């Protein structure tokens, strides 16, 4: 403090010396300029006196303004301090001095700001603790299946220390109850999993799936869900009792029928050793054996032919045969079961199997394209749902958009490969590739046509709604002319045609129809810019 005072005195002395030197220099200048003319010197002295006085007054005013601003800030800080002390129900001194002592205003300002920062830290700490308790309460109330109780604060929006302690005690009581619910829930899940494994049934509902995983997101722990879990458990317990009775009856029936047809008893023992449980698969096996044993030996040929027919059904589905193509094999429907009929079936199965192996990749591409197209349509339907904006969780909308773009790229690649494979098929077989009796090119083209027609309808509907809104908002004498979009019936076909040309300009489109004869430039301008026409 002493060093600071000595420094200030030295600066004042330097300032006085500068002022004296300046005056002496001015007097010397006047002496050179005006000589003995006292009148001119007095006039200049009066001017300098006014300039110096005004400057000093301005300096004083500047310092007074700073002082007033400091006082105003201190008053605001004092008011804030008072409000926060009332809110927090605490009170602290400003600095280390008593009320009777004096403190520089700048130091008062600094101490007040520091004190307010301390109060703000206390407020934030209490609010964070309150928020943490509220989040825990929401989670615990969900587990306990009870409504969330509103925590009322007596002193505004910031809880007091006693209020936080009371809230914390309530949370601990709820945690104990929730822990009991969780333990019971996990025990029931384990019991359900064991029972389903014993019955050999696969999990289909969220309740059943949750029994085989530690993750409870798909079926969260709660009292309500615990009731549902117990209902499911009771259902499978009843199923277990029914399966026991049914399995026992089937085993007895199998033994009886086996003896009637005089088959090897050791073979029966092997079959029964493989079906010792009460699972669904065991019951199906037992039932199948019973049905097989009911057939007499002379019907063995019929069973073989029927099995061949089952293979034909599978191959026809894999090769996308129409009913007409299937009916071409007339031996399929005959009631005569002879060696000749069996030979015809074997030949047909062998021919179809070879046919499927030859074009296996083409068949798979058709299926993959159908799955991707179906998924894209599903995403587009979801995108049109106005409720999706209110159900966005964890960035679901962004995830759907990324998935849609990815599927569009995948569809483009699949159709490019599929076009090449279909062309190879047609060149080799000399006929069109048919999908259950319909040309695959026509199917793909129709899908794009329907999609674009739907888009045009939606576009027209939006334009119509827009026009109606304009009419409602515009006075009768100022009604604007709204043009209806010029929609071409060839737009969807042109979209598909553009897609085909982008694939391979040197090869023909999937299909050529009269609708494709329209202007290329006109159609292209009306096709959405997308890899999906």
Phi-psi sector, 142: left (phi>0), alpha (psi -120 to 50), beta? alpha
**Is 375 part of any domain?**
yes
Cβ neighbour number for residue 373 with a 10 Å cutoff: 19
In a domain, 415, yes or no: yes
Question: Is residue 371 a part of any domain in this protein?
Answer: yes
- The reported pLDDT for the residue numbered 477 is 44
Q: For residue 295, is it within any domain?
A: no
Per-residue pLDDT band at 308 (split at 50, 70, 90): confident
- Three-state SS at 508: coil
DSSP state of 439: E
Give the model's confidence band at 162: pLDDT under 50 very low, under 70 low, under 90 confident, else very high.
Answer: confident
pLDDT (average), residues 212-228: 83
Instruction: Find tokens 């006292």 and name the residue.
Output: 38
Pick from 282, 280, 321, 274: nearest CA to 434: 321
What angle (nearest 5°) sits at the alpha carbon of residue 531, between those of residues 525 and 532?
A: 90
User: How far is 414 from 416, CA to CA, in rounded Å?
Assistant: 5
Backbone φ/ψ region at 210: left (φ over 0), alpha (ψ -120 to 50), beta = alpha
Instruction: Please write the tens of the pLDDT for every residue from 90-142.
Output: 777 665 544 445 778 888 888 888 888 888 888 888 888 888 888 888 888 88
User: Would you say residue 411 lies in a domain?
Assistant: yes
CA atoms within 13 Å, Cβ hemisphere of 470 = 13
The domain total for the chain is: 2
- Examine residue 7 and state whether it is found in any structural domain, yes or no: yes
Mean pLDDT, the chain, rounded, equals 78
Which pLDDT band holds residue 298 (cuts at 50, 70, 90)?
very low
Reduced to 3 states (helix: H, G, I; strand: E, B; else coil), residue 169 is: helix
- Does any domain span residue 12? yes
CA–CA gap between residue 133 and residue 166 (Å, rounded)? 11
Could you list the residue range(s) of the whole structural domain that residue 22 is in? Answer: 1-35
pTM over 0.95: no
Q: Among 429, 445, 465, where does a domain finish? A: 465
Range picked from 61-70, 120-129, 213-222 for highest mean pLDDT: 61-70
Please write the tens of the pLDDT for every residue from 112-124.
888 888 888 888 8
Asked whether residue 382 is assigned to any structural domain, the reply reads yes
What are 434's strand-pairing partners? 439
Looking at residue 470, what is its pLDDT? 81
Asked if pLDDT for residue 334 goes beyond 60, the answer is yes
Helices 280-293 and 223-261, axial angle in degrees (round to 10) = 20
| CATH number of the domain within which 408 lies | 1.20.58.1520
| CA–CA gap between residue 467 and residue 473 (Å, rounded) | 10
């Amino acid at each position: 403090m002493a060093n600071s005072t000595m420094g200030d005195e030295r600066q004042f002395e330097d300032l006085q010396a500068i002022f004296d030197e300046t005056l002496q220099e001015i007097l010397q200048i006047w002496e050179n300029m005006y000589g003995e003319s006292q009148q001119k010197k007095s006039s200049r002295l009066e001017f300098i006196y006014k300039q110096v006085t005004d400057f000093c007054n301005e300096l004083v005013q500047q310092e007074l303004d700073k002082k007033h601003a400091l006082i105003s800030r201190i008053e605001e800080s004092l008011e804030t301090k008072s409000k926060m002390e009332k809110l927090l129900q605490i009170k602290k001194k400003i600095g280390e001095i008593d009320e009777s002592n004096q403190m520089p205003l700048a130091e008062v300002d600094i101490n007040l700001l520091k004190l307010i920062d301390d109060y703000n830290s206390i407020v934030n700490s209490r609010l964070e603790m309150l928020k943490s308790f509220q989040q825990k309460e929401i989670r615990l109330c969900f587990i306990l299946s009870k409504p969330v109780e509103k925590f009322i604060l007596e002193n505004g929006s910031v809880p007091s220390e006693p209020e936080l302690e009371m809230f914390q005690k309530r949370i601990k009581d709820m945690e104990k109850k929730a822990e009991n619910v969780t333990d019971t829930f996990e025990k029931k899940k384990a019991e359900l999993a064991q029972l389903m494994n014993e019955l050999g049934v696969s999990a289909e509902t969220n309740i059943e799936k949750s029994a085989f995983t530690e993750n409870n997101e798909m079926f969260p722990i709660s009292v309500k869900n615990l009731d549902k879990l117990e209902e499911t458990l009771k259902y499978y317990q009843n199923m277990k009792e029914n399966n026991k009775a049914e399995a026992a009856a089937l085993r007895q029936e199998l033994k009886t029928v086996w003896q009637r047809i005089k088959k090897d008893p050791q073979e029966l023992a092997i079959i029964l050793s493989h079906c010792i449980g009460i699972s669904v698969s065991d019951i199906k096996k037992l039932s199948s054996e019973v049905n097989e044993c009911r057939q007499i030996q002379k019907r063995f040929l019929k069973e073989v032919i029927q099995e061949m027919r089952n293979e034909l059904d599978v191959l026809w589905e894999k090769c996308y045969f129409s009913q007409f193509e299937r009916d071409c094999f007339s031996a399929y429907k005959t009631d005569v079961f002879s060696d000749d009929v069996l030979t015809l079936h074997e030949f047909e199965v062998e021919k179809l199997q070879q046919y499927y192996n030859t074009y296996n990749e083409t068949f798979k591409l058709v299926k993959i394209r159908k799955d991707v197209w179906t998924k894209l349509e599903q995403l587009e339907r979801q995108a049109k749902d106005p409720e999706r904006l209110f159900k966005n969780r964890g960035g679901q909308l962004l995830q759907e958009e990324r998935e849609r773009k990815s599927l569009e790229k995948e569809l483009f690649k699949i159709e490019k490969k599929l076009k090449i494979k279909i062309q190879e098929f047609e060149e080799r077989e000399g006929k069109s590739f048919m999908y259950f009796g319909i040309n695959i090119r026509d199917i793909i083209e129709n899908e794009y046509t329907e999609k674009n027609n739907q888009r045009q309808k939606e576009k027209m509907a939006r334009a119509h709604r827009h026009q109606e809104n304009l009419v409602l908002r515009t006075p009768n004498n100022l009604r604007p002319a709204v043009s209806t979009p010029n929609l071409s019936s060839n737009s969807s076909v042109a979209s598909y045609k553009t897609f085909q040309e982008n694939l391979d300009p040197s090869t023909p489109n999937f299909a050529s129809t009269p609708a494709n004869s329209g202007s290329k430039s006109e159609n292209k301008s009306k096709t959405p810019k997308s890899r999906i026409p």
